[in-house]
Amino acid sequence: ELANRMAERGGNVVKSLMKLGVMATINQVIDADTAELVIGDFGHKAKRVSDADVEIGLVAGPDEDETLMSRPPVVTVMGHVDHGKTSLLDALREADVVSGEAGGITQHIGAYQVQSASGARVTYIDTPGHAAFTAMRARGAHVTDIVVLVVAANDGIMPQTVEAIRHAQAAKVPMVVAINKIDLPEADPDKVRTALLNHEVVVEQMGGDVLCVEVSAKKRLHLDKLEEALMLQSELLDLKANPDRVAEGAVIEAKMERGRGSVATVLIQRGTLHIGDTFVCGKEWGRVRALVSERGERLEEAGPATPAEVLGFNGMPEAGDDFIVVADEAQAREVSGYRQRKDREAQFVKSARGTMEQMFERIHAGEAKELPVVIKGDVQGSVEALIGTLEKMGSDEVRVRVLHSAVGGINESDITLAKASDALIIGFNVRANPQAREMARRDGVEIRYYSIIYNVADDVKALLAGMLEPTF
Ligand code: GDP
């Protein structure tokens, strides 16, 4: 290996080692110091690389403009429970002309693509709600281009509607509002539009730029309008990808299946995936043995924004893992081996301080200028007072950004949101439920409890002071 890299003959390297008193065979492992001496002997200069260098160049830089082609948007449906997210996804899927022709049965693989009569294509993530969305984000996967916010016209804005809005805003993903259940006599879409104003969502009918359509998932009303809005939003985003390169994507879902092994639904984000491609996926690697669509068809390849089940994993990946096609098995093994070692090390050092400290590091590196917080309190009055106090603090250099605030105990959704944005959670006269506490411990999210506003202000001031960059 060393001889190869120096473009010298193996025998000469062995001879050089002998001169140093090392009796080595051609395929023996030698330590770095010895290697450096040998390299010097040949008149070369050694450059020490770290273990992490296996990741360098794994993900290529951005594609040249002229290689980019339009791609379908990837859409996640969010909203309050029972407002019709699942019904809407089902209704939209029925509109697919391709599956209509095939008459096939579709199965849940975590995402599906719909082609409308006009030829426009949209990819939907088939797990409604913000839990999956934020969990993916927390793992570094940015798959969703547009969030469809479903609000039932008879029910209006509810707590999970607000959570969904906050999650979309924190991820900086644009929303299209679908006011659902307009078939009901008590439906009041105007009230919904007005109420959205309280949450910084200004729909077009109110003079804003958030697209908003009225639909009925049950009666299949105005679904074409929703699709139009999605296409319009997608045009505004100018979504493009290079299909003619090695594939990169993210895992949407993964499961173990009898007779099939580890199967993962991968959403391709750029490039085209082919059968036989060797890939790295999170800590795992594999070789594509088969690609299967949600209609159960065998595919030869999958291009940008296309979800497909991938068979051929050597281990079980996780939702949100990156998926990258590599040159060969040697590279795949090297990267996955490195990631597994790194993961084991990380297990040791993971602690609540970790995330906050990482954030301070980012601030010192000039990458972050805000202390993101999630505020939960016992009454609206104290929550508002806290927001008022905290938002006034800080300077031009650093300030507090309230990602989400609500009345109520700290729940799992708060933790996923805080994790995804490295935020601090402030509990004012409220506690975290046991599941949330466990999640916070596991994910290294910091929760601080208070009962006096003055103490919150004091602590946050200290945190901000610690965040300030030295001035010269
Ligand atoms: P999810 O919890 O948001 O996924 O909501 P579901 O899709 O499960 O719908 C909850 C309930 O609302 C079900 O009983 C649906 O039949 C009903 N529903 C969904 N969409 C509509 C609609 O457009 N009109 C009416 N009247 N009912 C609807």
pLDDT tens digits, 261-301: 899 999 999 999 999 999 999 999 999 999 999 888 999 99
CB of 184 within 6 A of ligand 1: the answer is: yes
Contact 83, 148 (CB under 8 A): no
Q: Report the predicted TM-score, pTM, of the whole model to 2 decimal places.
A: 0.72
- Rounded to whole angstroms, the Cα distance separating 121 from 27 reads 54
CB of 218 within 6 A of ligand 1: the answer is: yes
Confidence of residue 467 (pLDDT cuts 50, 70, 90): low
Nearest CA to ligand 1 atom 11: 82
> Residue 139: beta bridge partners?
none
CB neighbour list of residue 10: distance below 8 Å, 6 or more residues apart: 3, 26
Residue 150 alpha carbon to ligand 1 centre in Å: 10
Residue 427 alpha carbon to ligand 1 centre in Å: 33
Confidence of residue 116 (pLDDT cuts 50, 70, 90): confident
Contact 381, 429 (CB under 8 A): no
- Rounded to whole angstroms, the Cα distance separating 277 from 243 reads 15
CB of 84 within 6 A of ligand 1: the answer is: yes
- Kindly report, residue by residue over 361-379, the tens digit of the pLDDT: 666 666 667 888 999 998 8
- Binding residues for GTP are 79-86, 126-130, 180-183
- Rounded to whole angstroms, the Cα distance separating 236 from 240 reads 11
Segment among 204-218, 339-353, 439-453 with least mean pLDDT: 339-353
Atom nearest to 128 CA in ligand 1: 4
Atom nearest to 79 CA in ligand 1: 3
Residue 292 alpha carbon to ligand 1 centre in Å: 30
Q: What is the pLDDT of residue 105?
A: 66
Residue 112 alpha carbon to ligand 1 centre in Å: 20
Exposure string (b/e) for 32-60, b if CB count within 10 Å is 16 or more?
Answer: eebbeebbebeeeeeeeeeeeebeeeeee
Q: What is the pLDDT of residue 36?
A: 85
Q: What is the pLDDT of residue 364?
A: 62
Atom nearest to 180 CA in ligand 1: 23
- Rounded to whole angstroms, the Cα distance separating 427 from 206 reads 34
CB of 87 within 6 A of ligand 1: the answer is: yes
CB of 81 within 6 A of ligand 1: the answer is: yes
Rounded to two decimals, the ipTM of the complex is: 0.99
Which token pair is 12?
A: 């000469």
Contact 180, 84 (CB under 8 A): yes
Residue 168 alpha carbon to ligand 1 centre in Å: 22
